[in-house]
Structure 1
Amino acid sequence: MNTFRRHLLSLAALAASPWALAQTPVLRVTAIPDESPTELARKFAPLGAYLESKLGMKVEWTPVTDYAAAVETLVHRKIDLAWFGGFTFVQAHVRSGGKTVPLVQREEDERFRSVFITDAKSGIAKLDDLKGKTLSFGSASSTSGHLMPRSFLLASKINPDVDLKRVSFSGAHDATIAAVASGKVDAGALNISVWEKFVADKKVDTTQVRVFYTTPPYYDYNWTVHADMPAELREKIRQAFLTLDPNTPQGKEILALQRATRFVPTKAENYAGIRAAAENAGLLK
């Protein structure tokens, strides 16, 4: 092989890596839009600055319009690090042929739950009372706002598409709360941590909107990268999350914004139950 051809092949190999040719490497980060864009950006800002300091590279927030876009951007390596729910991780894992790697999850994500909420005057006290009523899920691709609530409804012999008067999708957990509070729907299903945050911040009147059912626990959110990311960078990112310390001002702020006590390692096998639920509900394509 002549020198010129070797040189061309070397350039091609470098071009295949999004980190190799950059003078100043950039880590592109996104998240499923399970809350408003301003809230997601606010929560990420201190974490982005922390990752920059730990990784020695620029960290760039890249918002997406919907859950499907978050999946596709990682699968096609348009971004490098994604905050996924359990279901979107499963979707990305399937779409990429197993080439997505979950690095860490919050300790809370090992036993995550969803809540069903309703207007205090609705007369709804249990899941069976939803029959003939209207219900809002979050995004169709949401683990805690759709897949798992639907799975638990089905397990209770309630088919939301048949037994309820109407099913709608708000697009995000905070929007589900607003839909119930405004009377647009009789009930809603959402992420327990968003609900608890709204209650703590007094953004919802619990004398008017209340929880009537909390699901059993399941694995949920994680931070995921593409398997093509260099192993050294992957491990640096993992360690950056694992070393967040709630006893330091920076660590306390970041963990509070992420609604986490700490981050712990995770693995793809943890989400086998989510995949089985999605397949059972006919939602995995």
Structure 2
Amino acid sequence: MRLSTKAFIGAFSLALFAAPAAATEVIQFGVGLYQPDKDKNDATYTPLAQYLEKKLGKPVKLRTVSSWEGLAKSLANGETDVALMGPWGYVLANNEAKAQAVATIEYEGKPEYYGIMVTNPKSGIKSMADLKGKTFAFGDKGSTSGYLIPFHYFQKQGINPDTYFSKVINTSHQAIQTQVTQGAIDAGADYNRNRDAMIADGLIKAEDSKIIWTSDPLPNDAFAVSAKLFEDKVFVAKLQEALLGIGAELKNQPNLLPPRYTGFAKKDNSYYKPIRDAGLATGRLQPK
């Protein structure tokens, strides 16, 4: 079940009052559901958890959280100590629970990516005007490129998705690409890395997916630390050192990160200002 942003923030507030102390003896490492299912996701990120355990000198327990909203909330209620999470989920966690970014993941050497909107070339859709009355898919409401950024774009264009489209759904990024290429939905919001990876992996055909809109550059996923654990500056420095060392370590252990991810760059909360600004502009984020 997906929470509305208002319900999600309300749950956050309750979590803050009931939040137990962060577990620093065993580091709870939360990861979003980047892969099609939990088992594959766990298998993909277990090497990273094991690497961090070795570098930090403490047990690191990996836990996949099925939604960005859920992962952000878990940083507030103490279930998660550190997390690899989408930009919008991170901004929510920072705003509501003071979680702090300590690094940004790099994809093919870059700490940024792009939101996109896609359609099937056979749909005849070439512009926003052509989308009126069509079916449209957003991603999870905790997603940056799948929800926040395209919603912000529509807002600036004076478009209310609920009335502009004949039907609006929320689903996963992979499902959006698959359904668009199959013609099951007319268009949807995604991000360039997902589309490129699905084409490279043979999950969709490039000729069946057409980009009709591209966002400004967006900061990649954040590696965040709970507010409680962020107070331990020695730990934070050690964590950052471990993350920044992954790029060189990939030569010896290529499965530390999924394909095409090349390491981490040292970034802080200020790097996510464009996402925060979009959240404030849309009313999805309430200033504290």
- Compute the TM-score of the two structures, normalised by the length of structure 1: 0.84
Quick one: percent identity of the two aligned structures?
27
The answer for the alignment partner of 1:9 in structure 2 is none
Opposite residue 84 of structure 2, the aligned amino acid is W
Q: Does 1:141 align with 2:142?
A: yes
Q: Which residue of 1 aligns with 2:182?
A: 182
Structure 2 CA distance for partners of 1:280 and 1:248, relative to 1, 3 Å? closer
> What amino acid is aligned across from residue 260 of structure 1 in structure 2?
Y
Distance across 1 between alignment mates of 2:249 and 2:51 = 15
1:125-274, aligned counterparts within 5 Å? 125-170=126-171, 172-229=172-229, 230-246=232-248, 248-255=250-257, 257=258, 259-274=260-275
SS of the aligned residue for 1:279 comes to helix
For residues 239 and 223 of structure 1, the distance between their equivalents in structure 2, rounded to whole angstroms, comes to 13
Task: Report the RMSD for the aligned CA atoms in angstroms.
Answer: 2.2
Paired with 1:243 and 1:111, the residues of 2 have a C-alpha distance of 19
Tell me, yes or no, if the aligned pair for 1:242 and 1:263 is still in contact at 8 Å: yes
Classify the secondary structure of the residue corresponding to 2:217: coil
Could you tell which deviates more after superposition, 158-167 or 143-152? 158-167
- Using the TM superposition, give the Cα deviation of residue 110 of structure 1 relative to its aligned residue in structure 2, in angstroms: 4.0
Stretches of structure 2 that go unaligned for 5 or more consecutive residues are: 1-19
Residue identity in the other structure for 1:18: A
Bigger shift: 136-145 or 272-281? 272-281
Given that 1:136 and 1:176 are in contact with CA atoms closer than 8 Å, whether structure 2 keeps it comes out as yes
- Give, in whole Å, the separation in 2 of the partners of 1:213 and 1:111: 17
Letter in 2 for 1:26: V
With over 3 angstroms needed to count, the CA separation of the structure-2 counterparts of 1:38 and 1:32, relative to structure 1, is same
Structure 1 unaligned runs (5+)? 1-14, 20-24
TM-score for the superposition, normalised by structure 2: 0.83
In structure 1, distance between residues paired with 2:59 and 2:186:
46
Deviation at 1:202, TM superposition (A): 1.3
Give every structure 1 segment of 4 or more consecutive aligned residues whose post-TM-superposition deviation is greater than 6 Å. Answer: none
**CA–CA distance in 2 between the matches of 1:145 and 1:73?**
21
Q: Amino acid of the residue matched to residue 100 of structure 1? A: A
**2:75·2:82 contact (CA, 8 Å) conserved in 1?**
yes
Mark the structure with the bigger radius of gyration: 1
Give distance in 1, aligned partners of 2:127 and 2:220: 24
